[in-house]
Amino acid sequence: MTQSDTNLIKLIREGDRRALAQAITLIESVRDDHREQAENLIEGLLPFTGKSMRIAVSGVPGVGKSTFIEAFGKHIISLGKKVAVLAVDPSSKISGGSILGDKTRMDGLSQQSEAFIRPTPTSGEQGGVARRTRESILVCEAAGYDVVMVETVGVGQSETVVSEMVDMFFLMLLPGSGDELQGIKRGIVELADLIIVNKADGDLVSAAKSVASDYSSAVRLLQSSHAQWVTPVVTCSSIEEKGINDIWDIVIQFRNSLSEDNLFDKRRIQQALSSMRRELDDLIFHDFHSSEAVKSVITVMEGKVESGLKSPAQAARELLSVFKRES
Amino acid sequence: MTQSDTNLIKLIREGDRRALAQAITLIESVRDDHREQAENLIEGLLPFTGKSMRIAVSGVPGVGKSTFIEAFGKHIISLGKKVAVLAVDPSSKISGGSILGDKTRMDGLSQQSEAFIRPTPTSGEQGGVARRTRESILVCEAAGYDVVMVETVGVGQSETVVSEMVDMFFLMLLPGSGDELQGIKRGIVELADLIIVNKADGDLVSAAKSVASDYSSAVRLLQSSHAQWVTPVVTCSSIEEKGINDIWDIVIQFRNSLSEDNLFDKRRIQQALSSMRRELDDLIFHDFHSSEAVKSVITVMEGKVESGLKSPAQAARELLSVFKRES
């Protein structure tokens, strides 16, 4: 480890937010030397990680994630805790949009010394960005944040990847007819440990309650993340800051329910192992697709599979032998 | 291709059920020479595949899948069609259990010349068996079966894999309190293109209707497989053969809804491509884990990740470099 690495670690541990931002930039970089530096950094910080509550906040654009995170973050800070917010999707609204754009609202959170807000990640391949978020969470933990929130906008495959790196998954919904799909991707409802119907204010209070009631019935028919937990469905108003306290109480209940049988720690260990496997798969995949021999035949092979001239299994075997012959 | 391969292809195409059974045994074999033979066989049969409706029938043990498949299969045969049934899970009830064990019930289907029933697959690694099922479907199609049903018992990862090789996914449920989870694995409800509450007979009729009504509300809040489709929830009695005709009508409607915009064919092409990628991943994975160098360090590396001494990303990178150094 170089002197500058050691220095960065020291600054992060002291709570220097610029150092933290710099570390996350390193983590998100696709440059090989940055990657190596990032891994050294994380290795140095690992002993100080693991102490936060990791929460995903997911929901389609317009559901009010930024306003919610703002209100929820302020509540958590009022309890004497520090909050970090990370955005997964390059299209995240945290940047440019509400939180950073709207001065009146962002005053509450991003200018407080107890909050760290990391807006838009470096754009990159789907999932790739999400995977790096796991490391950004670790760095935030080492910097002393008690709650790390990860915001996803419900596009692409981010949600599944993110659900495997957090302790609790929030799904946010809009008030509206209970019968209508809210553009939530297939499978996301079943990832939720808590469903929040936002904008339960003004004329929308009863509509919000109706959506909550519909989802409340629905989730009882779905499998939840662990046997002791039935996913609660609550309403809240982020702008009126109503229902926010209750949500934090649910977080505590959820954490307590996981602590039985040491499930909280067991899940994290499982998550670390699957993260290793996922990284490995990706590295091997990248290695494979960087092969000139593979590149020269893969499109032809896919074409043959598409047109039914070759079976998928046979095409796969032939591709592997092309790769092995070259390496 | 050898003379015996050509002969087997000919027999399969002529509808010889023993030849078909023999082909599936080859497909399920883990022996390298069998695999090569199986792939040659499939390549020879590929031009004759693609004409069946591929249906998954999933549900927990005891839900009555065998009796349903029996009744449904007989109905399809009465329409002048041929039906093949494949079991994915080694623990499948088709073998030993109801269909083959219970003479009175199996008389209806398995002894008819228009039906082919393939009971328990060769046991093997989870997912591995399921993947081979794709090839068994192709062989059944080449043998002239109009409907191929794939039975899964809802254990392990079979359902997701199977959902990617069929055109339509049935989820079977039991009558009972609408509030109780029926042991269905997380994420399965969202895979369903049709939900069937079985055993809607005798005292259970109203209980079955109540479950159907609950799930009917729930599925409207979940994303279905394509925009033009809202997953129907129906009741049926397999032993009284009630509601069976309606289910076939729904299959036709589903197929028609997919045929718009050519979605039916597009989905199959996508499925073939993802199958190729999945096969490739598995082959590469197998290649990696067969490496002596990898074997000698992987447990140590996993231990370091588990105990938080090494980050998942770094462990993965080190494992890959161990592998590359050896090969």
CATH code at B38?
1.20.5.170
Nearest chain A Cα distance for residue B29, angstroms = 14
Domain count along chain B = 3
Q: Are residues B64 and B194 in the same domain?
A: yes
- Shared domain check, A287 and A253: no
pLDDT at B170: 96
For residue B243, the domain's CATH number is 3.40.50.300
Indicate whether A77 belongs to any domain.
yes
A8 close to A25: Cβ distance less than 8 angstroms: no
pLDDT at residue number B98: 43
Same domain, B102 and B155: yes
Q: Could you tell me if A293 and A156 lie in one domain? A: no
- Measure the CA–CA gap between A282 and A128, rounded to whole angstroms: 9
Positions in chain B short of pLDDT 70: 1, 89-107, 120-129, 154-157, 177-183, 327
Is B271 inside a domain boundary? no
A312/B185 CB distance under 8 A: no
Q: What is the per-residue pLDDT for B60? A: 83
Indicate the residue type of A144: G
Q: What is the largest CA-CA distance in chain A?
A: 68
A112 and A253 assigned to the same domain: yes
Q: Percentage helix, strand, coil, to 5, in chain A? A: 55, 10, 35
Choose one of B220, B235, B260: the last residue of a domain: B260
Asked if residue B225 and residue B198 are part of one domain, the reply reads yes
Task: Flag if A320 and B280 touch (Cβ within 8 Å).
Answer: yes
For residue B76, is it within any domain?
yes
B residues 274-303 closer than 8 Å to A (CB) = 275-285, 287-288, 301-302
pLDDT by position in tens, chain A (length 327): 678 888 999 999 999 999 999 999 999 888 889 988 999 999 999 999 999 999 999 988 888 898 999 999 999 999 999 999 998 866 555 544 444 444 334 456 877 889 999 876 655 554 556 778 999 999 999 999 999 999 987 655 688 889 999 999 999 999 975 555 666 777 888 889 999 999 999 999 999 999 999 999 888 888 888 877 999 999 999 999 999 999 999 999 999 999 888 999 999 999 999 999 988 988 888 888 899 999 999 999 999 999 999 999 899 999 999 998 876
Indicate whether A255 and A321 sit together in one domain: no
Domain-embedded: residue B268: no
Residue B258, both tokens: 């997919």
- Pick the last residue of a domain from B227, B260, B293: B260
The answer to the question of residue B267 being in a domain is no
Q: What is the ipTM of this complex?
A: 0.84
- Residues 6 or more apart in contact with residue B126 via CB below 8 angstroms: B156, B157, B158
> pLDDT at position B99, please?
44
Entry field: residues in chain B? 327
B314–A280 C-beta distance less than 8 A = no
Whether residues A235 and A197 share a domain: the answer is yes
Do A42 and A53 sit in the same domain of this protein?
no
User: Are A202 and A293 in a shared domain?
Assistant: no
The alpha carbon dihedral of A172, A178, A183, A186 has a sign of: positive
Instruction: State the residue range of the domain holding B236.
Output: 49-260
How far is B27 from B34, CA to CA, in rounded Å? 7
| Same domain membership, residue A189 and residue A57 | yes
Interface check for A179 against chain B (CB to CB < 8 A): the answer is: yes
Same domain, A171 and A75: yes
Has residue B269 been placed in a domain? no
Q: What is the pLDDT of residue A111?
A: 79
B90 in any annotated domain: yes
Residues 17-36 of B with CB under 8 A from A: none
Question: Does residue B265 belong to any structural domain of this protein?
Answer: no
